[in-house]
Amino acid sequence: MNHRRIFILLAIVLAMAFVLSACAQPPATETPKQEAPAEATAAPAEEKPAEPAASEEPVTITFWNAMSGSRGEVVKDLVDTFNEKYPKYKVEAEYTGSYAETLTKALAAYKAGEAPTIVQVYEVGTRTMLDSDAIIPVYTMNKGEVDWNEVVEPIRKYYSVDGNLYCMPFNSSTAMLYYNKDMFEKAGLDPEKPPTTWAEVEEYSKKIMDAGVAEGGFSMGWPAWIFEQMYAWHNQLYANNDNGRSGLATELYVNSDFGKMVLGEWQRMAKEGVLVYGGRKYKANDPFLAQQFPFLFQSTSSLGGILKKADFNVGTAFLPRFDGDYEKGNSVVGGGCLWVMDTATPAQQEAAWEFLKYTFSPERAVIWHKGTGYFPTSNTAYEMLKEEGWFEKEPNFATAFNQILSGNDTPASRGVLLGPFVQIRDVMGTAIEEAVVNGQDVGKTLDNAAAESNQLLADYAQLHGK
**35 and 56 housed in the same domain:** yes
- Please check whether residues 165 and 182 belong to one and the same domain: no
**Are 457 and 419 contacting, i.e. CB atoms less than 8 angstroms apart?**
yes
- Which region among 19-23, 97-101, 141-145, 431-435 has the lowest average model confidence (pLDDT)? 19-23
The predicted structure's pLDDT at residue 195: 98
Residue 59 lies in a domain: yes
Beta strands in 15-142 (DSSP E): 59-65, 89-95, 118-122, 135-136
> Poorest-confidence range of 24-38, 155-169, 421-435?
24-38
Tell me the pLDDT band of 342, cut-offs 50, 70 and 90: very high
- Report if residue 424 sits inside a domain: yes
Cβ burial, residue 278 (10 Å; 0-12/13-18/19+): buried
Q: How far is the CA of 317 from the CAs of 130, 155, 194, 226, in angstroms? A: 34, 20, 7, 15
Q: How far is CA 259 from CA 176, 271, 296, 333, in A?
A: 19, 18, 21, 20
Listed residues 373, 388, 403: the one ending a domain: 388
- What average pLDDT does this structure show over 243-252? 95
Alpha-carbon dihedral sign for residues 62, 67, 70, 71? negative
Domain match, 322 and 349 both: no
- 201 shares its domain with 87: no
16 assigned to some structural domain: yes
Alpha-carbon distance of 331 to 112, in angstroms, equals 38
| Residue 460 lies inside a defined structural domain of this protein | no
User: What's the confidence (pLDDT) of residue 18?
Assistant: 40
Residue 462 inside a domain? The answer is no
Whether the predicted pLDDT of 43 surpasses 80: no
Q: Does 394 map to a domain?
A: no
The answer, yes or no, to whether residue 137 has pLDDT greater than 90, is yes
- In the predicted model, is pLDDT for residue 345 greater than 70? yes
Tell whether 240 and 192 lie within a shared domain.
yes
According to the model, what pLDDT value does residue 164 have? 95
CATH of the domain at 316: 3.40.190.10
Contacts of residue 173, defined as CB under 8 A and 6 or more positions apart, other chains included, come to 23, 299, 300, 301, 333, 334, 335, 373, 374, 375, 400
Q: Residues in the chain, how many? A: 466
For residue 184, pLDDT beyond 90: yes
Half-sphere exposure of 67 (CA within 13 A, CB side): 28
Q: Is the pLDDT of residue 141 over 80?
A: yes
What's the rounded Cα separation, in Å, for the pair 266 and 452? 22
In this prediction, residue 42 carries a pLDDT of 38
pLDDT (tens digit per residue) in 261-308: 999 999 999 999 999 999 877 789 999 999 999 999 999 888 888 999
9 and 134 inside one domain: yes
For residue 466, the model assigns a pLDDT of 59
pLDDT digits (tens, 9 = 90+) for 374-412: 988 999 999 999 999 999 999 999 999 999 999 999 999
d(CA 221, CA 424) in angstroms, rounded, equals 17
Please tell me the least confidently modeled range out of 1-5, 92-96, 156-160, 461-465: 1-5
225 and 237 together in one domain: yes
HSE (side-chain half, CA atoms, 13 Å) at 73: 6
Q: Are residues 168 and 180 in the same domain?
A: no
Our count of domains for the chain comes to 2
Q: How many CB atoms neighbour CB 113 within 10 A?
A: 9
Taking the CA atoms of residue 46, residue 52, residue 57 and residue 58 in that order, the dihedral angle to the nearest 10 degrees is 0
**283 and 339 part of one domain:** no
pLDDT at 346: 97
Per-residue pLDDT of 108-122, as tens digits, reads 999 999 999 999 999
Query: Is residue 152 domain-shared with residue 65, that is, in the same domain?
Result: yes
Across 144-190, the runs of DSSP E, i.e. the strands, are 160-161, 164-165, 168-173, 175-180
- Rounded Cα distance, 409 and 56, in Å: 49
- Report which residue type is found at 404: I
Q: What pLDDT score was predicted for residue 222?
A: 87
User: pLDDT category, 465, cuts 50, 70, 90?
Assistant: low
| pLDDT given for residue 55 in this prediction | 53
Write down the pLDDT at residue 301.
84
Q: Could you tell me which residue, 351 or 25, shows the higher pLDDT? A: 351
pLDDT for residue 262 = 98
Asked whether residue 131 is domain-assigned, the answer is yes
Predicted local confidence at residue 371, as pLDDT: 87
Q: Is residue 270 in a domain? A: yes
Q: Which of 352, 373, 388 is the last residue of a domain?
A: 388
Distance from C-alpha of 335 to C-alpha of 24, rounded to nearest angstrom:
7
Are 323 and 341 found together in one domain?
A: no
Rounded to the nearest integer, the mean pLDDT of the chain is: 89
Query: What average pLDDT score do residues 130-139 get?
Result: 95
- Which residue segment(s) compose the domain that 350 sits in? 3-173+334-388
pLDDT digits (tens, 9 = 90+) for 26-40: 433 333 333 333 333
Whether residues 152 and 206 share a domain: the answer is no
- At position 363, the amino acid (one-letter code) is E
**Per-residue pLDDT band at 219 (split at 50, 70, 90):** very high
